[in-house]
Amino acid sequence: MKSPFVHSKIHADEPVAAMEMSDGFKPDEKVSDWDAHEEKQLLRKLDYRMMPLCIGLYAFGVVSQINVTNARAFDLSPQTGLGTMELELGMKPNDINNVFSFYFLPYCLLEPFSNFFLIRFRPSVWLSRILLSFGIIGVAMSAISDYHGLLATNIVMGICEAGFVSGISFGLTYWYTPAEVTMRLAAMMVSSSLVTAAVSAFAGLIYYMDQFGNTSAWRWLFFLTGLPPVILAVLLPYLYADEPESATFLNERERHIAVMRLRLSDPAKSKGKKLSWDDTKTALLTWEIWAHAAISFLCFLPLFCVKFFVPSLLAYQGYTGASIQYMSIPPTLLFPVPLIIGVYVADRIKDRTLVYFVSAAAGALTFLGLAWSTNPVISYMLLLMYTVSAPTGALNFGWATVNQRTHTTRGWTLGLMNGISNAGGIIGAQLFRAEQAPRYIQGFVSLSVGFLLSMVLVVLVRLQYVPFGIFRPTASAAGSKRQRSAAQRIAPSVHVMRRCHGQPTTVTRLQVQLKAVAVVIPDRHMAQEAPPSRHVDIAQKVFMLYSARTQSK
């Protein structure tokens, strides 16, 4: 008979999952009553129902952000740095930079608070509100008549759209375990690249609608891409299932498995989905969360710059008209390849930081090459090579999400990371100014330095997590008994230690973890399938030496 006490592999950069299992669990809920086949079937059903809708929502968010970029690309002149839209609206060369920056200013300020409203009003209602509002603004942008109108509508667009991406990401945690969320986030990022390429191709076709009905092509672009979000927003409350407990597409058995596997594998689910002000304070005072947010800012900054200024870079390389739209497609289509490979490799070797280092280093070298290249062919090839840095954002988001132990801290983490990472749109829009054209040396060097700084922060966060990662009980993919480890019986959880007893020293952390490992005695079933590892033996010896030294003093 197979034992229910099976340990699954975890990433080397995850801390101890401290959780009081008495919260929210009945005695008979601690052992799973389903097998791997049932869970696999459930996951497939969830993916077929939830992921196409989430990918579609994410795609609409991406389209709204790149619309201005695609609109200005129509007849973009390398001599003046202005396109048809800018000329018709009476804009100057650097006005477009301000349009990009002011969009992200309210977006970043409101993003961290958005998930609180999502918890309060349910994901389907809150996401529908956001989708409807920015869809209406997108349609309205087709009627603007001057630069100030574009600037004002783009600011309102930032207000309306704030919280959309983080809300979609946070909504996934209602259905999937933290380990599963990373792959789904990567899938959404892959879809965004495909959608960006499709929209670029669509914009290339709309170029030929110029003056159709005495209307410029860029106005048609805003109008035609703004209508679909409005239609989907009306249908979303009927299509989007908020949580497993109320999902009508699941039967009673599937709902039971969906709910219980989250509770067994994710401490946040045992606390419920209510707001906790204590956890809010903990999240705001935990420096690792702010470090993850800073890493997000630094690794998404290049993405915003490339998204905004690829038309300008291509125009200075000699491309004109619709060819600018079409030549921006290959880098976008290539982007998902290293993203998928990076996330897959990180999951296989159980270490996100190593893959992050390789990707970030490749990105830094690529931008240094772009800063000094004067050959259009080499510059375009380097633009394609930049996509090697694609996994950095997904890896950081997955890393931060899996290490949050309550629903509130997870909501704050995603909100802060999305808000601060989108601040890259504010800064990035000002890095590539008209006076730096055509090589943009300062902009490319800044992006390279940003990747290097993010690598330093990753090292610091990893070192912080290492003392907590010596031993961690985990649940198998099929669901298993979530045991309380010796660390959880001896010491309070990490966030409780910080709140009640102040910041523990490194020695205190190490002492607690060594003590936890030293006293672990696998039960009879576990001993047959997963014998104690070499790390446990070493920890026992180290703890014995440490205890003897302490007693002698």
pLDDT in tens, 235-287: 999 999 988 988 889 999 999 998 888 887 755 555 555 566 777 777 788 88
Burial of 440 (0-12, 13-18, 19+ CB in 10 A): buried
pLDDT of residue 224: 92
Q: Band the pLDDT of 137: cuts 50, 70, 90.
A: very high
Contact 74, 220 (CB under 8 A): no
Written in H, E and C, the secondary structure of 36-54 is HHHHHHHHHHHHHHHHHHH
Q: How far apart are CA 273 and CA 195, in angstroms?
A: 32
Residue 275: what pLDDT?
60
Q: Which of 37-51, 405-419, 520-534 has the lowest mean pLDDT?
A: 520-534
Encoded tokens for 540: 């026992």
Q: How confident is the model at residue 104 (pLDDT cuts 50, 70, 90)?
A: confident
pLDDT classification of 347: cutoffs 50, 70, 90: confident
Mean pLDDT, all residues of the chain: 76
The yes-or-no verdict on residue 495 having pLDDT over 50 is: no
What distances in angstroms separate CA 333 from CA 62, 254, 267, 326, 328, one per listed residue? 15, 37, 37, 11, 9
pLDDT at 334: 86
Residue 451's pLDDT is: 94
Name the CATH superfamily, with its identifier, for domain 63-266+277-467. Answer: MFS general substrate transporter like domains (1.20.1250.20)
Give the least confident one: 12-21, 76-85, 514-523. Answer: 514-523
CB 276 within 8 A of CB 342: no
pLDDT tens digits, 290-311:
999 899 999 889 888 887 788 7
Domain ranges of the chain: 63-266+277-467, 486-552
Does the pLDDT of residue 35 top 70, yes or no? yes
DSSP SS3 for 514: helix
Higher-pLDDT residue of 152, 553: 152
Which is higher by pLDDT, 1 or 356?
A: 356
Q: Which pLDDT belongs to residue 314?
A: 82
d(CA 326, CA 309): 15
Read off the pLDDT band of 21 (50, 70, 90): very low
Other C-beta atoms within 10 Å of 275: how many? Answer: 14
pLDDT at site 421: 84
> Tell me, what's the pLDDT at 213?
82
Helix 217-239 vs helix 123-140: angle between axes, to the nearest 10 degrees? 160
Task: Confirm if 265 and 479 have CB atoms less than 8 A apart.
Answer: yes
pLDDT at 83: 84
User: Residue 539 pLDDT > 70, yes or no?
Assistant: no
Q: What is the band of 150 on the pLDDT scale with cuts at 50, 70, 90?
A: very high
Gap between the Cα atoms of 532 and 467, Å rounded: 19
81-85, 210-214, 266-270, 549-553, range with the lowest pLDDT? 549-553
Widest CA span in the chain: 91
